[in-house]
Amino acid sequence: MAPTQDANRNPALTRPAGAERRVVITGCGTISPIGHTVEEFWAAATAGQSGIRPITRYDVDALPTRFAGEVVGFDPKPYMPNKVSRRLDRFAQFGLAAALQAMDQAGLTIGEELATRTAVLVGSGYGPGQLMRTAIHDLRDHGRRRMTPYLASGGSLDSAAGEIAARFGARGASGATVTACATGATCVGDALRMIRHGYADVAIAGGADDAVNPLDLGAAANAGALSRRDDDPHLVSRPFDRQRDGFVMGAGAGIVVLEDAEHAVRRGATILAEVAGYGATTDAYHSTHPHPDGLAARQAMTDALADAGLRPEDIDHVSAHGTSTQLNDRIESAAIHAVLGGHAPRVPISSLKSMTGHMIGAAGAVELIAAVQTIRTGLVPPTVNCDDPEDTTLDYVPHKAREHAVRAVLSNSFGFGGHNAVLVVRAWPGAADTAGRQDRQPKEEGR
């Protein structure tokens, strides 16, 4: 059972016995192709700057694509000692770095009393591709003894979660939920439920991936998912545009610190936003293709709204999955129409993948962080390269960011295997951005 909470300091947080707890975000961190901090990432995203460029870390002659949203110039040294970085794949280095950023912003120290009440859920879609590739080559060319001794621990999908838990002394539940391209959102959603139902007071949650390597790029290319365009790399990722021909691989990490709202208020934390709703479903249709009618995707969106206690007309912005593949974008647009109804044409819709590429397991968490920034700054990021939208009735915010008052965001994540995870994030009453703007009261308090 959760410890008894004293809500007398803030009557607005008082809840009846047995009611679910509200969950807020107090810290965010990201490593991305367009910035190695949230501030850098957000400045580039709202400026419409693409991080898609020619691949530099690998020979691309054997690959059908030369471009990716590569993380360039990342140095693990400011975040971890060499003995830690040596045992981790780059994806886990990204995850640990983003977690350190998020915990620093949250101003949270995990002491003995909080340790067992702090969970870590950080997943990865593809995991330690480079570490595994190197180990396989070493085994083939030189034998077992030349393989890295860190493979048994660093070669797992939960290596980032374990390293983050150890770094902060978090002794609650930890692990790596994997739902392909929806992983980051799923980990946040599952962490939300853990806090709501009293299994934790704090959670460090999100996703990380570094799939810009020959193994993962080759696999995605063989699945027919990658763009084959060979022109300006900044023009390759084209979500919702008629000329789209596949996604562009990306890399990075997105981590958030979630807290029981009463816990955050008691310790005087700055609350950035509230994670108000979560919906998760499965297509049960195909290993890579989404269901043609988007039935489960629609259900996840509807469930997230219901979980947040919001109506379709309460949504001010959609952070789209928007991969730049023919099927995904068409089906997602239809799902937005179906769920938001007559309100859909009035809602600005953005795909960050037009600038970052597809960050796989990190995508949903990074896009959630963008939703938080949208609420706090009143800026909706653009969908670049959306020159000729397939659905002219929807507003994809083409080319340039836009000022728009946003109180509630629907953030979609859909993955291979038919995994769907949708989050609703909304303004917290009284929260202010760095410029001092006060967010307006949500239309529906819900939870």
CA distances to 75, 156, 379, 387 from 45, rounded to whole Å, are 22, 31, 10, 18
Give the strands of the sheet with 317-319, arranged side by side.
174-175, 118-123, 202-210, 251-260, 23-31, 273-282, 419-426, 408-415, 317-319, 349-350
Listing DSSP states for 132-189 in one string gives: HHHHHHHHHHH-GGGS-TTHHHHTSTTHHHHHHHHHHT--S-EE----GGGHHHHHHH
Kind and range of the H or E run holding 115? helix 112-115
181 is catalytic: yes
Give the C-alpha separation, 24 to 265, whole Å: 10
Q: How many CB atoms lie within 10 A of CB 127?
A: 27
Give the C-alpha separation, 110 to 105, whole Å: 14
Q: How many CB atoms lie within 10 A of CB 323?
A: 27
CA distances to 30, 70, 353 from 40, rounded to whole Å, are 9, 15, 16
Give the C-alpha separation, 103 to 122, whole Å: 14
For 353-443, list the strands marked E by DSSP.
Answer: 379-380, 402-403, 408-415, 419-426
Give the C-alpha separation, 374 to 350, whole Å: 11
Give, in degrees to the nearest 5, the angle at Cα 218 between 292 and 389: 40
Q: Would you say 438 and 430 are in contact if contact means Cβ atoms under 8 Å apart?
A: yes
Closest CA to 410 of 348, 334, 325, 328: 348
**Which two tokens mark 378?**
């009143």
Active site residues: 181
